[in-house]
Amino acid sequence: MKRLIVLAGVLVLGAGCTTSNDPSGDGATTAPASAAPETPYELQITAPTGFEAVAGAERAHHVSPDYLDQVFQLTGGGESDQIIVSSYYLPEDAADADRAAQIALVQPHDAELGNTSRADNYRDALVHREQGLHRYYYAENAGGFVEGHYYYLFSGRHLIELSCQWGDGGGGQAVQTACMTLAESLPIPETWNA
- Give the HSE-up count for residue 104: Cα atoms under 13 Å, Cβ half-sphere: 7
pLDDT surpasses 50 at 136: yes
- What's this model's pTM, rounded to 2 decimal places? 0.80
Q: What is the CATH number of the domain that holds 68?
A: 3.40.1000.10
List CB contacts of 86: < 8 A, sequence separation 6 or more: 58, 59, 62, 63, 67, 68, 69, 70, 159, 160, 161, 163
Under the banding of pLDDT at 50, 70 and 90, the label for residue 194 is: low
pLDDT surpasses 70 at 12: no
pLDDT surpasses 80 at 9: no
In angstroms, the CA 171 to CA 65 distance is 30
Nearest of 174, 162, 16, 157 to residue 83 by alpha carbon:
162
pLDDT surpasses 90 at 118: no
- Supply the pLDDT for residue 142: 76
Please give the residue range of the domain that contains residue 128: 51-185
| Number of folded domains that form the chain | 1
Asked if residue 10 belongs to a domain, the reply is no
Q: pLDDT digits over 85-94, tens only?
A: 999 999 998 8
Asked if residue 68 belongs to a domain, the reply is yes
- Supply the pLDDT for residue 23: 47
